[in-house]
Chain A
Amino acid sequence: MQFEWTEDQDAFRQQIRDFLHANLPDGWEKFSEHGPASPALTAFARSFCVTLADAGLLFPHWPRDMGGEGLGPWEQQILSEEMWIAGEPRGGQYMNVNWIGPTLEKYGTAAQKARYLEPITRGESLWCQGFSEPDAGSDLASLRTRAVLKDGRYVINGQKIWTSYAGLADTCFLLTRTSDDRKKGITIVLVPMDTPGITVRQIPSLIGEGDIHEVFFDDVTVPETARFGDEGQAWEIVAYSLRNERLGIPRFTLARAALDRAVAMLKERGDFVREHVRIEAARCAALCEGAGTANYAVVQKRVDGLAIGAESSSARYATVMAERAVCEFVVEFLPEALAGASPYLKMHHQRGIVAGIAAGSAEIQLNIIASDVLELPREPR
């Protein structure tokens, strides 16, 4: 057991930092306030990711036969950490390289791989994730958006909600219902967002422009070949994808960076002398570092080729605790940060407050921990 990065890993981290330093524009911090799903950041990401791809830093963790550098999960972690601390200049494209690409590779047809993987590797595509519905949030398996196969085409009707990036995405990774069998009746369809019958409505939010949408599907028709995996295979595929996604965003690193930034501001104005402020800051740091090591323990399992199980939910909940603590620290001791004094801390706050909601609610993580880590007898249904 050792907790040091190797020299190569340190060099890799430095390479990314140098790249960011050279390629992020002046005033980037203020700009990143727009949020990863905003039109402004999405447009920036479209050129940034092309440059990132040219430098071999868009998907270096992918295996060589997928065009990657064959670097491991630790390098993916380092890449994600540095990007997220920098305000995620890849915008929504982080999803492509974290889970959409690997999921396409594992479950896609040859035609789907040919169509979708290359734009991802060029840094040119943006996906959205059509999962939640007005009546199917944490209870995802109750989703009702229906896909009916007729004459070799799926006709889709229904509504999705909370869909990040929907306003600008090219393709939707869409969960649909093809039979009434609860989990086994769900099927994934890859739907181009310019297909007639799709209407996107943005919902103004606390977490930045362009982040939350409703998406309506009215007789949206796609060929049968747009189905991803078999009919009824969605639950298995999504479980695979979400395990990657839950590890995907190293939120604890941004929380820690935001905490350091807040402390620096407090010190600058001579306010980091009060004991209760110092103790609270240390408590936040411990939560961030605890979440970090818990996450690294999960990455280790991936490095060792072991199945990642419910411990990723525990690591994720630790991250939620850290995010909450840092957000509350800033609001209590630096309220002006969210009112213009620190674009970076505002950016953190807007990303941090969603930590317990996005990619499966914190309460669902607690359910998973109770059943699968602690192995408590299950609740009656």
Chain B
Amino acid sequence: MQLALNDDQTQVLDFVEALARPFVSAPLHDAGLALESAELDAALVENGFLDVMAVEELGPVTAALVVEKLARLPFAVEAAVSALVRPLIGPDLPRPLCLVEEGRLSAPLRFLRPGATVVVVGPGGVNSFTASEDMIAPAQEDTLYAYPVAFLKGVPGDVTMHDADPAEVTRAWRVAMAAEAAGLLGAALASVVTYVSERKQFGRPLATFQAMRHRLAEAQVVTNTAYWLAMRAAASGTRADAAMALLHAQEAARRVCYDYHQFLGGMGMTLEHPLHLWTYRLKLLTAELGGRGGQGLAAAEALWG
């Protein structure tokens, strides 16, 4: 048991932080509901931060740490699947990667665009194809989810079959989503804490009212445990840990997102405050892989048969 960051991990996270520094503030007013940055994406690729899992001394926990840290940024990056799942399927698959469950092809897909690799995971196997313009139906322009999303119109006849265990890919998928959710939970909490500490009503900061303090403290507890469960799932590689990590993160997201917008009042309904960038990403992640029920059943199966 060694729960402190090792020197390599500290160094990688310091590099990521330095690289992400220009992207820590959200542009206000002119930002749409979704926000991403090709420049940030290119910098991450160029510096190899999405490939740390394959580096022996770094591995999956460092990859999860990177994903968690990037998810805190207001800019959405397709990092989680590339960093934690792609190595299991095909390390050279063109990014962004869009994972989709067989039978759930009508779901809104994050980062789907021409040139993206769509990976279909089903009980029988894992296959992929490169999305082209004619396969994609754009989501409506003011989609709330704060990720770029689109829909698949169809699947091509010829797909690439991968020699990858679908159960193992699903496990890594859960770890990836749990790590991303952990970062989103952390950033959303930090942003609400700042707001309610500054905003005054009745002559004192909102954060001095116990009605908010206790709910925010509970949010801190579930955010903290979501972080640790995600890291442990990355480290252990077990299906039970992965399913529990995503289940807990999805539970936490449901619990906190409502409160956070509530605490911001009208400001939480505007695009002038960046809160929605984290909460509406979290909301979409709560639908991933069948939601809490899907994770719960998977965890129960792995834990108790």
A residues with CB within 8 A of B: 1-6, 9, 74, 260, 263, 267, 272, 275, 278-283, 285-287, 289-291, 293-294, 296-297, 299-300, 304, 311, 314-315, 317-318, 321, 363, 365-367, 369-370, 373-380
Task: Please name 7 pairs of A and B residues whose Cβ atoms are closer than 8 Å in the assembled complex, sorted by A.
Answer: A1-B3, A1-B65, A282-B295, A283-B247, A304-B4, A314-B224, A370-B217
Q: Which residue of A lies closest to B247 (CB)?
A: A286
Contact of A296 among B3, B226, B298 (CB under 8 A): B3
Q: CB within 8 A of B221: which of A263, A280, A282, A321?
A: A321
Task: Collect the chain A residues with CB atoms within 8 Å of residue B232's CB.
Answer: 3, 289, 293
Tell me if B228 and A294 are in contact (CB < 8 A): yes
4 additional A-B residue pairs with CB within 8 Å, beyond A286-B229, A318-B222, A366-B218: A3-B3, A279-B300, A287-B225, A367-B214
Contact among B65, B210, B213, B299 with A285 in the assembled complex (CB-CB below 8 Å): B299
Q: In the complex, A321 Cα to B226 Cα: how many Å? A: 13
Q: Which residue of A lies closest to B241 (CB)?
A: A289
- Chain B residue nearest to A311 in the complex (CB): B224
B1 part of interface (Cβ distance < 8 Å): yes
A220 → chain B, closest Cβ, in Å? Answer: 38
B297, A282: Cβ atoms closer than 8 Å: yes
User: Nearest Cβ distance between residue B58 and chain A, in whole angstroms?
Assistant: 11
Partner of A366, one of B193, B196, B217: B217
Q: Does B2 contact A (CB under 8 A)?
A: yes
Indicate if B208 sits at the interface (CB-CB under 8 A): yes
Q: Are A369 and B221 in contact (CB under 8 A)?
A: yes
Known: A285-B303, A379-B208, A380-B208. A278 touches B221 (CB 8 A): no
A112 to B23: give the CA distance in the assembly, Å. Answer: 59
- Residues in B126-184 with C-beta less than 8 Å from chain A: none
Cβ contacts under 8 Å, A363 to chain B:
214
Q: Mark B287-302, 1 if CB is under 8 A from A, else 0.
A: 0000011011111110
Structural contact, A275 and B231, CB atoms closer than 8 A: no
Q: Is the pair B213, A1 in contact by a Cβ cutoff of 8 Å?
A: no
Verify B296–A280 contact, CB threshold 8 A.
yes
Q: Could you tell me which B residues sit within 8 Å of A by CB distance? A: 1-6, 9, 61, 65, 189, 193, 196-197, 204-205, 207-210, 213-214, 216-218, 220-222, 224-226, 228-229, 231-232, 235-236, 240-241, 243-245, 247-248, 251, 292-293, 295-301, 303-304
**Residue among B1, B61, B208, B241 facing the most chain A CB atoms (10 A cut-off):** B1
Check B304–A263 contact: CB distance below 8 A: yes
Q: How distant is B14 from chain A, measured CB to nearest CB, in Å?
A: 15
Cβ contact within 8 Å between A1 and B9: yes
Q: In the complex, which residues of chain A have a beta carbon less than 8 angstroms from the beta carbon of B241? A: 289
A326: min CB distance to chain B, Å? 14
Contacts A283-B296, A297-B228 given: A314-B303 contact, CB under 8 Å?
no
Question: Complex formed: what's the CA distance from A12 to B125 in Å?
Answer: 43
- Cβ-defined contact, A279 with B293, below 8 A: yes
